[in-house]
Chain A
Amino acid sequence: MLLLAFDTATPAVTAALHDGTTVVAESTRIDARRHGELLLPAIDRVLRDAGAAKGDLTALAVGVGPGPYTGLRVGLVTAAALGHALGIPVHGVCTLDGLARAARAEGVTGPFAAVTDARRKEVYWAAYDEHGARVSGPDVDRPADIADRLAGAPAVGAGALLHAGVLTGARGPEHVSAGHLAAHAAERLAAGGDLLPPVPLYLRRPDAQVPAGYKAVLPA
């Protein structure tokens, strides 16, 4: 197995290669405004670092968010096109699951939440049990509205750190890494389990309003 994973649902533009046993290469850059510019070079870098060819890839895993839409779509359309051109399957992974796995790897124990910035004073988040299994979410909410439910439990991710005044359990890791996303996907696939379809978790409708009636030009 040679799995390429990447995620652009948050400010982290991250790509990694997993050989079925371990992560063999990884590249992560934090830049919320340049997903489109950074992703393909990052993919190229991890393949080169691992000495692998595009034709060696057996599957793709892509973060499906939730996340701000414009960046999120860069990863999804890149995955769709690469999968199409290379003739390999494309799997979706909830970005928060990648973050949760990173948190467990960094020693977070007990129930916790993974939280990313949804902008507009809201966060994307999901809750995990002490085994790291997602038990609720992903959802989009205001930090104050989830603070009670978390009751001071660890809350990892940039969305938690941004609202540390409200989410008292806020801590690192701050960013999702494709290595953890890849490991999550590789384990699921090896176990014959299901991953998500590679379609975005927007969680919000597009901002658009049906215009109210015709506005006259002549003075009333």
Chain B
Amino acid sequence: MADEPLVLGIETSCDETGVGVVRGTTLLADAVASSVDEHARFGGVVPEVASRAHLEAMVPTVQRALDQAGVTAADLDGIAVTAGPGLAGALLVGVSAAKAYAYALGKPLYGVNHLASHICVSQLEHGRLPEPTMALLVSGGHSSLLLTEDITSDVRPLGATIDDAAGEAFDKVARVLGLGFPGGPVVDRMAREGDPEAIRFPRGLTGPRDPEYDFSFSGLKTAVARWVEQKRRAGEDVPVADVAASFQEAVTDVLTRKAVKACRANGVDHLMIGGGVAANSRLRAMAEERCERAGIRLRVPRPGLCTDNGAMVAALGAEMVRRGRDASALDLSADSSLPVTEVSVPDPHGAVHAHAHHSLGGGA
């Protein structure tokens, strides 16, 4: 393990300033500074507020991660950073910081994809990703089914949401129920007291002629709002726990059903679930149940590694170094709409060649 690459990862695509340190597939530090409380009164993430917070938090969070890991910056084999997708101004803070660290320390820079990082974080908990692996990525900004053969070079989208992301639906339903922002944790908590079968909310895009692996949560969100408003207008109490449980059941039912189906259709027997919504307790339980029934091995990182963090970026960076992937150039751009198929952003002139850290035959 000692000769595995030591990489620091920086993540600033949304409202968390995350800095992680990873050696190979071993997590050494995961420091996060969140501005979520500053966004709560706005009912959603305000990009400028997030960007200002990233600037303030950057150096202290890097120092905290190095201290936690018990390493010095000079020991690092590389600096990895989320190059996209995400909020443009927020990404730019992390990318600029990463470049400055890489330059000052004389280390290679790896601009990597946020979604691929969410998949690769699984390596820190369950060892190297089996090839192939199916990934269900569900967060406030994304809901995608991705098939990866090599997490440093090959991620293929099978389907994605056609409207709201799953996490967005949690936020909106929480607002309908007056539960505040962010919606995920509070809906999860309320749902534990409720009956998931109480109300049969619609399962979007599950008809016979619907796209097999795409998702839609906008109709579900509206159905919940209508149901709640009708109750209120009739002067009846809204059974908040039942609504939360039934809504959550509809989301997790569709997500897990499609993920299992995608595994079966593609002959893939490993499913990883990542992104902030993967912290949802019902999603985790249902996925476990359904995967076990289908003979699929499930990999879900602990909740703290499902939400945005720097360790996931470091995990992908370490894998890039290990496989000898090309580093990025110092004029690397932050790309708010970086396609999921672009796992990293190598130097277009190919001038920066990373050397393979050690043989690919090495075990996990």
Contacts and interface: CB of A to CB of B under 8 A. Distances in A.
Interface of A: 36-41, 43-44, 54, 69-70, 73-74, 76-82, 84-86, 200, 202, 206-211, 214, 216-218
Given A76-B55, A77-B58, A217-B229, 10 more contacts: A37-B332, A41-B330, A41-B331, A54-B106, A69-B48, A69-B89, A82-B100, A85-B100, A210-B43, A216-B229
The 3 closest A-B pairs by CB, nearest first: A85-B104, A81-B100, A206-B48
A8 to B, nearest CB: 9
B224 to A, nearest CB: 9
Nearest to A75: B96
B230 interface: yes
A40 B222 CA distance: 47
Contacts of B349: none
A210 B333 CA distance: 32
Summarize B's interface: helix, strand, loop or mixed. helix
Given A80-B58, A206-B49, A208-B42, A217 B330 contact: no
Given A84-B62, A208-B46, A54 B92 contact: no
Contacts of A78: 96-97, 99-100
B176 interface: yes
Most chain B C-beta atoms within 10 Å of own C-beta, residue among A73, A82, A214 = A73
B58 A85 contact: no
B41 interface: yes
A211 B181 CA distance: 12
B225 to A, nearest CB: 4
A218 B233 contact: yes
B97 A77 contact: yes
A108 to B, nearest CB: 33
A38 B175 contact: no
A211 to B, nearest CB: 5
Contacts of A202: 52
Interface in B28-86: 41-43, 46, 48-49, 51-52, 54-55, 58-59, 62-63, 73
A73 B42 contact: no
Contacts of A39: 96
A206 B53 CA distance: 12
10 contacts: A40-B330, A40-B331, A73-B89, A73-B92, A74-B92, A76-B55, A86-B104, A216-B225, A217-B229, A218-B226
Contact of A73 (B51, B106, B331): B51
Given A69-B51, A81-B58, A218-B226, A209 B42 contact: yes
A36 B52 contact: no
A44 B96 contact: no
Given A77-B100, A82-B103, A36 B330 contact: no
B103 A36 contact: no
A36 B334 contact: yes
Contacts of B88: 70
Contact of A217 (B51, B89, B98, B225): B225
A40 B103 contact: yes
